[in-house]
């Protein structure tokens, strides 16, 4: 929980905190309000003992799941439940069997929708070109090891995952999450430690190792947003000419592009926080997934830094 709002300085500015941007506000009204709020920096010393929190968040925003057919949704949820139960194998009856291409689509959706299922590693067996068996967990990991890593991540990050941010607007929360990432993470594509290297693209890289790349950062950003009920999508594509990952978030009725990795160098000037499709394309970002669609980001109303 946070003491008061954050500290005495913030208490003096308490009247500047506005209610979260809501559905009924017009673009101009939102744009006017966003300039009235004050951004709050991440400071671990200001965070007190958190509320109880679990690593698995069943209320997250599942954008990719929402685009699947009913049959593929059934397979998707059966695999997810097996992962939640730490079961290595899932068998499918004839009426639930899918092609390998369909399974890859489901696999992609689970990875993008559930960053907390970092231990998911899909393997499968086919009969008559249909998948009847899926292996869900990395063979090199045991359920006990997974639980131990989850517990370590919770112990080290519960102060942010369960922080009392009820006084914050949605945009303030998004900036606060950015500040947490910017001040605690090191971008490292080739760490020396084998365990750290293995997890540079999972949330373990952010919440435990503190060394990671854009994939882990965007997954962690989504996971934190999920914890606070903010609709957030993990996106993969191209950025600056190479493979990249970032996010799309919803504030009020509008969706916005957010690149938490590119914001890391100067989070107090977060140019890539709540921007529209036009700006993100000017920065050479592009989607590379042809089978999933994404919401249009046509507003700059929640942008604070541009």
Residue 131 shares a structural domain with residue 189: no
Looking at residue 166, its pLDDT comes to 87
**Stretches in the chain below the pLDDT threshold 50:** 1-25, 32, 34-36, 49-51
Looking at residue 57, its pLDDT comes to 66
Looking at residue 289, its pLDDT comes to 76
Q: How far apart are CA 87 and CA 135, in angstroms?
A: 9
Q: How far apart are CA 264 and CA 177, in angstroms?
A: 11
159 inside domain: no
Residue 31 shares a structural domain with residue 98: no
Provide the residue range defining the domain that includes 128: 65-137
Looking at residue 89, its pLDDT comes to 96
Looking at residue 51, its pLDDT comes to 47
DSSP 221-249: HHHHHHHTT--EEEEEEEETTEEEEEEEE
Q: How far apart are CA 78 and CA 72, in angstroms?
A: 10
Residue 194 shares a structural domain with residue 259: yes
Looking at residue 54, its pLDDT comes to 56
Chain-centroid distance, C-alpha 256: 14
Residue 276 shares a structural domain with residue 191: yes
């Amino acid at each position: 929980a946070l003491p008061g709002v954050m500290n005495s300085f913030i208490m003096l500015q308490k009247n500047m905190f506005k209610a979260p941007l809501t559905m009924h506000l017009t673009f101009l009204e939102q744009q006017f309000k966003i300039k009235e709020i004050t951004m709050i920096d991440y400071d671990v010393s200001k965070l007190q003992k958190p509320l109880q929190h679990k690593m698995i968040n069943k209320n997250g925003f599942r954008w990719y799941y929402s685009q699947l057919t009913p049959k593929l949704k059934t397979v998707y949820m059966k695999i997810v439940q097996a992962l939640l139960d730490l079961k290595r194998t899932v068998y499918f009856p004839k009426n639930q069997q899918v092609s390998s291409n369909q399974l890859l689509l489901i696999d992609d959706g689970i990875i993008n929708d559930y960053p907390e299922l970092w231990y998911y590693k899909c393997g499968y067996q086919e009969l008559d070109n249909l998948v009847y068996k899926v292996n869900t967990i990395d063979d090199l990991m045991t359920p006990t090891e997974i639980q131990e890593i989850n517990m370590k991540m919770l112990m080290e990050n519960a102060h942010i995952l369960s922080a009392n941010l009820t006084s914050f607007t949605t945009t303030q929360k998004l900036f606060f999450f950015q500040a947490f990432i910017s001040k605690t993470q090191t971008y490292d594509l080739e760490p020396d430690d084998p365990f750290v290297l293995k997890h540079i693209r999972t949330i373990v890289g952010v919440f435990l190792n503190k060394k990671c790349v854009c994939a882990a950062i965007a997954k962690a950003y989504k996971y934190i947003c999920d914890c606070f009920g903010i609709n957030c999508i993990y996106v993969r594509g191209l950025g600056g000419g190479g493979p990249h990952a970032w996010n799309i978030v919803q504030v009020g009725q509008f969706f916005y592009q957010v690149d938490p990795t590119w914001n890391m160098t100067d989070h107090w000037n977060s140019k890539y926080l709540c921007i529209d499709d036009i700006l993100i394309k000017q920065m050479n970002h592009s989607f590379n997934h042809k089978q999933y669609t994404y919401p249009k980001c046509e507003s700059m109303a929640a942008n604070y830094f541009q």
